[in-house]
């Protein structure tokens, strides 16, 4: 066994370790189970192929050539399938199976005969190029979401360069004498190919593991600032958003569901939960992307409107109230009409606690007026004068 063959054997062991890491990911992170299993599958396919590369000349050619080529093909198709799963949340089993079966049958038909070397190399180059391109396409969106556009483009370009270098090595082998076409033949071309494979596997494995860790870290962070039921911000997330906004004019709508206890008592808490989710959808539909929406209590919501004065905020609150009153929630007991009371306050530099206090006073005024109405700081001032 020459030095290149031994290097391939060590690289196979490295890929086996990556397979163990992906298996642990599938076991420990339930939300990434399919992603982890696919990562383990393509790592082990490549580990087996590299080990068979290293054992050429000691085992039967059908195993070390045809078997290795089929494993390489499976590894490449699983590679883009894993990227597809990471982006879309599912794995294209039918598409993957058909493509892999077609390529495997062609490789088996070609066999290990030297005269079919060109066909085998062409098939591997084709599958590596297409799989690499698809992997980059399906990785681009999650990379852009997690790392930003410039860095995601840089990573995609590096991945494309590595895939092209790998495909170029395969195609270049067609111009070499038959002994030199073998991956374990001691030549400068195979040393370069070994280096490309090593760098490519490190970049792919560590990059994809990093993406899994980053996505789940962000999920945990998101859970800490979001209400589980409505998916709006919770009190902690709302306060964090307040600190991020510039200290300009900011209006606050404090919203309370009218007679919510009666809804729970008459219809049950499951219907009460549906009412809260119904209201969250109404807020999202009618308040626009600039509004910060939060559930800060049991049936109490807050909406922060940056750059809005008291008159505009009052008008938007009245529009929201009328839309909610005009949109009943279907239930098994019939249409359930839900109304809300809204208190409006505007900050000119006050702290969030003071703004909430002013909005709370306006909300109580709306309730004293009979509920299903809007009251603001101006109404409080008029009542006191």
Instruction: Write b or e for each residue in 155-176: b if 16 or more Cβ atoms lie within 10 A of its Cβ, otherwise e.
Output: bbeebeebbebbbebbeebeee
Q: Which of 14, 17, 110, 15 is nearest to 69 (CA)?
A: 110
Q: What is the DSSP letter of 32?
A: G
Whether residue 152 contacts residue 211, with contact meaning beta carbons closer than 8 Å, is answered with: no
Residue 187 has phi, psi (to 5 degrees) of -150, 165
Mean pLDDT per 10-residue segment, the chain (385 residues): 78 90 87 88 91 85 88 87 83 86 88 77 77 76 67 65 64 59 61 71 73 77 86 91 79 93 87 92 90 92 90 92 91 84 84 88 92 86 66
Q: How far apart are CA 50 and CA 16, in angstroms?
A: 10
Q: How far apart are CA 353 and CA 347, in angstroms?
A: 11
pLDDT of residue 154: 66
DSSP strand pairing (250-257 vs 300-306):
antiparallel
DSSP 54-76: HTBTTB-HIIIIIIHHHHHHHHH
Q: Could you tell me the two tokens for 325? A: 């009153």
CA distances 193 to 157, 185, 343, Å, are: 19, 11, 69
Q: How far apart are CA 375 and CA 385, in angstroms?
A: 16
For the chain, how many helices (H) and strands (E)?
Answer: 15, 5
Q: How far apart are CA 251 and CA 307, in angstroms?
A: 7
Q: What angle do CA 157, 161, 162 make, to 5 degrees?
A: 120
Q: How far apart are CA 225 and CA 355, in angstroms?
A: 21
């Amino acid at each position: 066994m020459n030095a290149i063959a031994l290097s391939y054997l060590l690289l196979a062991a490295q890929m086996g370790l990556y397979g163990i890491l992906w298996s642990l990911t599938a076991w420990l992170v339930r939300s990434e189970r399919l992603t982890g299993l696919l990562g383990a599958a393509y790592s082990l396919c490549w580990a087996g192929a590299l080990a068979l590369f290293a054992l050429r000349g000691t085992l039967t050619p059908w195993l070390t050539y045809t078997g290795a080529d089929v494993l390489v093909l499976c590894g490449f198709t699983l590679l883009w399938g894993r990227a597809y799963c990471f982006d879309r949340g599912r794995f294209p089993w039918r598409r993957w199976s058909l493509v892999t079966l077609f390529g495997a049958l062609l490789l088996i038909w070609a066999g290990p005969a030297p005269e079919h070397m060109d066909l085998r190399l062409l098939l591997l180059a084709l599958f590596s190029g297409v799989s690499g391109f698809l992997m980059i396409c399906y990785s681009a969106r999650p990379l852009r979401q997690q790392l930003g556009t410039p860095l995601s483009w840089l990573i995609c370009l590096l991945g494309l360069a590595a895939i092209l270098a790998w495909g170029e090595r395969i195609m270049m082998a067609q111009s070499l004498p038959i002994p030199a076409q073998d991956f374990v033949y001691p030549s400068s071309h195979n040393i370069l190919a070994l280096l490309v494979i090593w760098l490519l596997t490190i970049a792919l494995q560590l990059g994809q593991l990093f993406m899994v860790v980053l996505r789940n870290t962000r999920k945990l962070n998101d859970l800490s600032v979001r209400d589980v039921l409505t998916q709006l911000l919770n009190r902690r997330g709302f306060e964090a958003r307040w600190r991020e906004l510039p200290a300009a004019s900011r209006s606050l709508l404090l919203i309370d569901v009218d007679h919510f206890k009666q809804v729970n008592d008459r219809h049950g808490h499951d219907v009460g939960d549906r009412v809260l989710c119904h209201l969250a959808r109404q807020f999202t539909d009618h308040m626009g992307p600039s509004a910060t929406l939060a559930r800060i209590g049991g049936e109490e919501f807050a909406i922060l409107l940056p750059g809005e004065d008291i008159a505009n905020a009052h008008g938007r609150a009245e529009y929201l109230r009328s839309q909610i009153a005009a949109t009943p929630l279907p239930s098994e007991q019939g249409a359930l009409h839900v109304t809300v009371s809204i208190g409006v306050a505007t900050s000119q530099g006050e702290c969030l606690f003071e703004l909430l206090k002013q909005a709370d006073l306006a909300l109580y005024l709306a309730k004293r007026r009979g509920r299903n109405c809007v009251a603001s700081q101006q109404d409080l001032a008029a009542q006191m004068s």
